[in-house]
Each structure stands twice: as C-alpha cells, then as structure tokens.
C-alpha cells in the first residue's frame, strides 16, 4: 500500500510534467532501458542521447497518454523510436566516416550472440531485443510496436532463425 | 506437416504459454523427432545466450547523472517558451473537491484566506494533540544561512508518512521563502532510513498560514521510515521565493526564483505503528462491484484501500468519491492536502481499478466498526465524434454533440494557435465535460499549452452557480457538479515548424457524475 501511494503520487507528478518525477521513473528502470538502447546502438553516448530525447518527449507529450496503465509501454515505444532514429542517422554517417572504436569490453564478456543481432534485419532485431533482452510479453510487444500478435510471433521466429544461421556460420571461422 | 506446425510453436512453448493439450502434443512429437528436437534445443540455446549476455551489459558510472544534466540543459533553453500544464481548469476542480471534504457543514468561509487560516489553526491544534499523546514531538532544530533562518518545528511519523513542520524566516524582512520539495532538498541518509523501492522520498508539501510577511510555515511529507525510529539528515541548498498564497503542491505559473544557501538538520524521528484492518467487504454501483480491502488507521491519516472493476468498457467508472467515514456517529472527511481525498486510482490487471481514499485520522477513536459513505461515482463514457473545422470559412462554426450545440467561436492561427470554444448549457445537456483533441489535416494532434475552462456548478437541487464566483465557497453548495461552457485553449506542436492549423475537433468521451446515498457498514477486527 505504501508503495502504491508513492507510485500514484509519482504518476500524478509525471502527469503534471514534473521533470524530476519523470527522470526518477527512468532512473529506476535505467538498467532495462539501457540494455535495449545498447542492443541497438552499442555506444553509450548514443544511449545517453536516447534517454535524453525520450525523457523530453515523454515530458512534452504526457497529455496525449490516455490510460495510465499503458505508461510503460508508451514510454518504451518512444524509446524505441529514438533508438531507431539515431541508428538510422549513424548508418548514414557510417558510409562516410568509419565508426569510432567502441569502449573496451571486459575480456570475459563475449557478446557473441548479441553482436550478431546487428546483422539481423531491423524488424526482426527489434522484437528479439524486446522479448529476450527486456522480457516483454508478445502482447506487450504488440502494443509497443503497434503490430498484431501474429506478426510479432513470426518476426521472433524469423529473427531467431536468422541468428542461428549467423552463429552457425560464424562458428566455422573459429570463435 | 506436423513438424512445421510444431516448429511454429517453439516460441510459445519456451514461453510456457501453450495449453496442456498443446504442450503434451509438442513434447510427444519432439521426443520422437530429431529435427524438431534439434530446432528446439538451438532456439533454447540462443535465447539463453541472449538473456545471459544481456545481463553482462553494464551501465557506465554516473550514466543517469549525465542524462539528468543533459535534460536540465535542455530545460533551461526551453524556459523562454515556458509551457503551462494544460490542467488549470482541472486543478480548480480538485481544489473544489477538497473544500467539500473539509468545510462540511460546519463553517462557511467567504475568502480563501479565511479558510486557510482556519486550516492552519486546525493543524496546530492537531500537532499539540499528537505531542500530548506521545505521537509527535516539538524538535525545534534550527539552521541559518545568508540571512535566512529555517527551523524544523515539529514532527509526527507513522507507517504511512512522516510529516515535518518547518518555518522559514527572512531576517532581512524582505521576502517569504518556502521549500521546493522537488528541487534543492535532500535527505542525505535516505538509503538507511527508507525502503529502496520507495520513490520519491520527499513526496509532498503543504503551505500553512502565517500572518507575518517574512515568515513562511510549511509541512513536508516524507515516505515512512523502514525502522521504528531514526534520524533524518536533511540538507537544503535552495529555497524558493513564495507568493502570498503559495501552498506549494502544484506547478507555479511563473518561472520559479530561488535563493541558494546551506542549511542542514538532524531530526530525530519516532515512528508510530498504524492499526491495520483487513476487510473483505463487497458492494456495487450500477452493476460494478466494489471491494473494500483494507483500512489503515494511522496517527496522521486514515486510508481505505478498495478496488472496483470496470465491467463495461464503454461506461466505465473513472473513480468513486467516498464522502466520509463514520465511526460512532462521528464523520471524518477526506483532507486532500494531507494527500488524501479523491481516490488515487492505480490500475491493476484485468480492468480493476485500485484506489486509496484517505481521510482525517481516526487514531484516537480506534473504532470497532465504521460506515463508509459513498457519495458519487464518476463515469467516463465513450462517445466519439469528429467535427471538421475550416479556417477559411467564417466563425463561429457549430456542431451538435449529444444534443448540445458546441461552437468554435474563434481561431487565431499562429505558432501557438488560440481557440475559443463554447458549449450550450440547457436542460438537455447530457454530459459535464468532454475529453477532446484537435488535429490538423495531416492527422497530427496538438498539445494544449493552456486551457482555461469556465462554467457552472449545479447543486443537488438543480440550482445553477457561476463557477468563478463560487471558487472558495464550494462548501456552501450541496453536491456541486461542474459543467464546462467556455474554453480558452492554446495549442502548440513542439516538434513541428510553422503554424498550427486545426482541421478537426475529435471528441473521445465525456464525464458524468452520478450521486448515491449509499452507506456500507463494516465491522472491524483487530489484526495483531
């Protein structure tokens, strides 16, 4: 009960465009959201930008949110759109400017499968990120991406299959 | 072919959402089919790797700190086009509801100040009572900085909240300063004191009446302590310039002016336990069941937790108002500023709304039975309608919504477009106010920078009152309901260059209040 009073107050403040309350909400969920951002962008400055842009958008558009219970999925949609748009910008630049070196990964972390995520088509990669890195249900994903559940399922399927093919192909080059 | 079908089910199988029959068929097939078994194992492996790898993604140190900084910078740049929250009308309505709750047939006040002074007196009296009963303390811890003296005068704490009363005196006798509970204040040892999931820690603020022009009195509301006692280490580095009637719980209309300084307090707190009663009582409104789950009787407040289900999706209960709780002939009312009153609705699953209505304390009464007086239920009824707006034609342009004439009287197009919209108010009016948005011809919607709503109250007898006249006299009206009649709206689109040109008014739903005289009897058994 006590938590619910603070959540309700926080929600009330968020609806009143209290920036502090909005940023606090993000802070509590930073790990979840960071992982999505990282899976898209692999660069923490970019992920910082996504957080910033999303927070500003949530603040400005909170009036458009109809039902409080959809707040999290609504914010996640915005977050993903931001990821997509920064991703697109980066890819345009990549042709002219070679990408910066990503910060040193600790030796133990071999993001083998995740690195291959990049090579999936966007539409498949997205659903995999949401489902397996983030733990959203297929129904929630269908809300976030505004797709029918059947489409979510078939993209998941295809994504997993493509990942497998990439990894099996990669194994032969001795990872 | 069976294999194709089975392979399509792999994801659902791994999710655990196949039904029993499907799962058995799946297991049977896979056990006997190498290809499918392979497929399943590989999928499992990948999913597992994804999950494990995602665990190893770590967030750089001070990530959120950088994000906060970036956001703060953007906010600073935006200050020039300062946006008002589009809820001026609704805040007014909420203040009214508050008045109904407390004033309740005892006194009528003709000015806001009168009411506020009385409210302040009641709080002082209440604090004396707390101290007498050993529930609260006069701590009187002081700190001074830059000519401003801040005193934490008293505290009272329970399982629901901790109240800290303070006074700020400007020694230079020039200004009144108050605490901005969202900025410049920090509980240094908050991790030791309060459960980590509870955020925010400082969650509310109330201004109290002070007759001196350089002294401000206020009360901070803080999350409850985890342990039964502790010391709050409170640090202030900024205080806000206050205006005469600054209660400090809603966003101010003008940019805030701060004064910096350094004030530090160590405040000893003793927490009082609340008496909690698990209820299991059901009632219903228009076929919608309402369950009363729990009654928490704490020294500072009484909380009634309940749930209601919106069975009908087109005619759903938005919230219910509980007028009062009665114990032994004595009524306690919602005190909105004690962060109480109109139920705060949080939704649970399956279309249940969970809510907590709060009331003045019943702690000293410790009742064995209460009566819950349900006053009304507010329904949001979906009734969509779209009306085209043509700015190249003359105004006013009118339409009919549910038998009422809605008129767009004026549209001034610009970067932030101003619209004046009026609604007819006669005996045929079927709704109180409606929820709407404006769209342009490319179907983009606009946010409202401001929306000043005027209208009338109708009381229980059907008498009509001008809303602006009765702002602080709501307690004189019986069961008042607000009907909107005139809107002065300012629209804007932030991520869009150029003029805002509305092409359509889209109405989504409307509000309707129904009054009940329903009393629910609840007997209480103590829980150890």
Query: Across the interface, do B204 and A9 touch by the CB < 8 Å criterion?
Result: yes
CB contact set of A28 (below 8 Å; sequence gap of 6+): B199
Give how far B263 is from chain A: nearest CA, Å: 22
Per-residue pLDDT, A143:
84
Considering only alpha carbons, which residue of chain B is nearest residue A103? B60
What residue in B sits closest to A110 (Cα-Cα)?
B53
Residues in chain B: 528
Residues of chain B in contact with residue A130, where contact means CB-CB under 8 angstroms, are none
Instruction: Say if the Cβ atoms of A1 and B356 lie within 8 Å.
Output: yes
Chain A: closest CA distance from residue B172 (Å): 31
Whether B201 shows a pLDDT value over 70: the answer reads yes
B356: which chain A residues are within 8 Å (Cβ-Cβ)?
Answer: 1, 4-5, 8
Residue contact A6–B251, C-beta within 8 A: no
Inter-chain residue contact A10 with B57, CB threshold 8 Å: no
**Ramachandran area for residue B140 (φ above 0: left; ψ -120 to 50: alpha; else beta):** left
* Cα of B16 vs its chain's centroid, Å: 37
Of A42-51, A102-111, B328-337, B519-528, the one with minimum mean pLDDT is A102-111
Q: Burial-class residue B172 by CB neighbours within 10 Å (0-12, 13-18, 19+).
A: exposed
Instruction: Tell me if B343 sits within 8 A of B369, measured CB to CB.
Output: no
* Spatial contact of A138 and A131, defined as CB atoms under 8 Å apart: yes
- For residue B251, the chain A residue with the least C-alpha distance is A16
Question: 10 Å Cβ neighbour count for A14?
Answer: 22
CA distances from A142 to A126, A127, A152 (A): 12, 9, 6
DSSP three-state, residue B295: strand
Residue B413 near residue B500, CB atoms below 8 Å = yes
Are residues B206 and B247 in contact, defined by beta-carbon separation less than 8 angstroms? yes
| Whole-number percent of chain B with pLDDT over 70 | 82
| Confidence band of B332 (pLDDT split at 50, 70, 90) | confident
- Contact flag A30-B59 (C-beta cutoff 8 Å): yes
Residues of B whose CB is below 8 A from A160: 11, 43, 46-47
Label the pairing between strands B369-388 and B397-401.
unpaired
Q: Quote the CA–CA distance of A166 and A155 in Å, as a whole number.
A: 16
Cα A75 to Cα A65: distance, rounded to the nearest angstrom: 10
Give per-residue pLDDT as tens, B263-318.
Answer: 999 999 999 988 999 888 888 877 778 889 999 999 888 889 888 876 555 667 77
Which member of B11, B198, B303 has the closest CB to residue A157? B11
Nearest CA in chain B to A16: B85
Measure in Å the smallest separation between the Cα of B212 and chain A Cα atoms: 30
**CA–centroid distance for B119 within its chain:** 22
For B274, half-sphere exposure in the C-beta direction (CA atoms, 13 angstrom radius) is: 27
Residue A63 phi, psi (nearest 5): -60, -20
The C-alpha of A51 sits at a distance from chain B's nearest C-alpha, in angstroms, of: 7
Residue found under tokens 């477009």? B417
Q: In this complex, which of B71, B447, B448 lies closest to A19 when CB atoms are compared?
A: B71
d(C-alpha A137, C-alpha A123), whole Å: 17
The answer, yes or no, to whether residue B143 has pLDDT greater than 60, is yes
* Mean pLDDT on B449-457: 80
List of chain A residues whose C-beta atoms are within 8 Å of the C-beta of residue B448: 63
Measured distance CA(B522)–CA(B514) in Å, rounded: 23
Instruction: Please state, in angstroms and rounded to a whole number, the distance separating the CA atoms of residues B437 and B40.
Output: 49
Cβ-Cβ contacts under 8 Å, B344 against chain A: 5, 8-9, 12
**Does B86 have pLDDT greater than 60?**
no
Any residues with CB less than 8 A from the CB of B180 and at least 6 apart, and which? B205, B238, B239, B240, B248, B256, B258
**Among the ranges given (B80-84, B207-211, B329-333), the one the predictor scored with the smallest mean pLDDT:** B80-84
The helix-helix angle for B112-132 and B88-103 (nearest 10°) equals 50
């Amino acid at each position: 009960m006590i938590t619910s009073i603070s959540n309700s107050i926080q929600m009330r403040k968020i609806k009143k465009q209290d920036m502090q309350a909005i940023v606090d909400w993000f802070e509590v969920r930073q790990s979840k959201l960071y992982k999505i951002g990282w899976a898209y962008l692999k660069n923490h400055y970019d992920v910082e930008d996504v957080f910033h842009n999303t927070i500003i958008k949530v603040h400005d558009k909170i009036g458009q949110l109809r039902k409080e219970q959809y707040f999290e999925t609504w914010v996640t949609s915005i977050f993903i759109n931001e990821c997509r748009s920064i991703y697109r910008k980066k890819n345009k630049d990549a042709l002219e400017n070679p990408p910066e070196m990503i910060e040193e990964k600790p030796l133990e972390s071999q993001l083998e499968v995740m690195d291959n995520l990049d090579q999936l088509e966007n539409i498949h990669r997205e659903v995999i990120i949401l489902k397996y890195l983030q733990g959203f249900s297929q129904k929630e994903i269908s809300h976030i991406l505004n797709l029918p559940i059947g489409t979510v399922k078939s993209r998941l399927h295809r994504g997993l299959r493509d990942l497998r093919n990439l990894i099996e192909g990669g194994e032969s080059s001795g990872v | 072919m069976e294999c194709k079908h089975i392979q399509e089910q792999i994801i659902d199988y791994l999710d655990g959402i196949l039904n029993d029959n499907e799962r058995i068929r799946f297991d049977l097939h896979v056990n006997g089919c190498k290809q499918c078994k392979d497929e399943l194992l590989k999928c499992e492996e990948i999913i597992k790797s994804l999950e494990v790898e995602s665990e190893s993604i770590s967030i750089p140190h001070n990530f959120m700190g950088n994000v906060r900084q970036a956001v703060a910078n953007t906010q600073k740049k935006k200050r020039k086009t300062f946006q008002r929250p589009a809820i001026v009308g609704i805040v007014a309505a909420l203040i009214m509801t508050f008045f109904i709750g407390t004033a309740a047939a005892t006194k009528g006040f003709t000015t806001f100040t009168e009411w506020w002074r009385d409210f302040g007196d009641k709080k002082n009296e209440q604090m004396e009572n707390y101290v007498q009963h050993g529930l609260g303390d006069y701590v009187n811890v002081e700190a001074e900085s830059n000519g401003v003296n801040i005193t934490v005068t008293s505290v009272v704490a329970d399982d629901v909240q901790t109240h800290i009363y303070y006074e700020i005196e400007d020694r230079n006798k020039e200004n009144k300063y108050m605490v901005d509970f969202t900025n410049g204040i920090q509980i240094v040892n908050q991790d030791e004191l309060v459960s980590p999931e509870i955020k925010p820690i400082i969650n509310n603020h109330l201004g109290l009446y002070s007759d001196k022009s350089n002294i401000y009195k206020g009360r901070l509301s803080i999350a409850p302590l985890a342990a039964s006692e502790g010391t709050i280490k409170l640090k202030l580095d900024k205080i806000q310039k206050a205006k005469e009637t600054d209660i400090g719980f809603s966003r101010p209309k003008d940019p805030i002016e701060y004064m910096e300084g350094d004030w530090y307090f160590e405040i000893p707190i003793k927490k009082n336990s609340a008496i909690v009663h698990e209820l299991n009582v059901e009632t219903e409104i228009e076929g919608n069941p309402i369950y009363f789950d729990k009654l928490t009787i704490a020294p500072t407040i009484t909380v009634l937790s309940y749930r209601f289900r919106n069975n009908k999706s087109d005619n759903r209960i938005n919230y219910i108002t509980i007028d009062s709780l009665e114990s032994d002939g004595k009524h306690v009312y919602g005190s909105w500023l004690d962060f109480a009153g109109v139920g705060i609705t949080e939704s649970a699953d399956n279309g249940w709304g969970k809510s907590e209505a709060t009331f003045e304390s019943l702690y000293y009464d410790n009742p064995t039975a209460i009566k819950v007086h349900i006053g009304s239920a507010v329904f949001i009824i979906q009734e969509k309608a779209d009306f085209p707006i043509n700015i190249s034609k003359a105004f006013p342009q009118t339409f009919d919504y549910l038998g009422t004439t809605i008129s767009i009287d004026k549209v001034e197009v610009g970067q932030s477009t101003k619209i004046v919209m009026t609604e007819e108010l006669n005996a045929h009016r079927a709704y109180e106010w409606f929820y709407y948005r404006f769209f342009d011809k490319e179907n983009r919607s606009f946010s409202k920078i401001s929306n000043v709503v005027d209208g009338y109250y109708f009381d229980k007898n059907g008498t009509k009152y001008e809303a602006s006249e009765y702002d602080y006299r709501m307690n004189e009206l019986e069961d008042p309901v607000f009907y909107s009649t005139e809107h002065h709206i300012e629209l804007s689109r932030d991520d869009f260059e150029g003029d805002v040109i509305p092409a359509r008014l889209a109405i989504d739903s409307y509000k309707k209040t129904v009054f009940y005289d329903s009393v629910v009897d609840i007997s209480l058994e103590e829980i150890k």
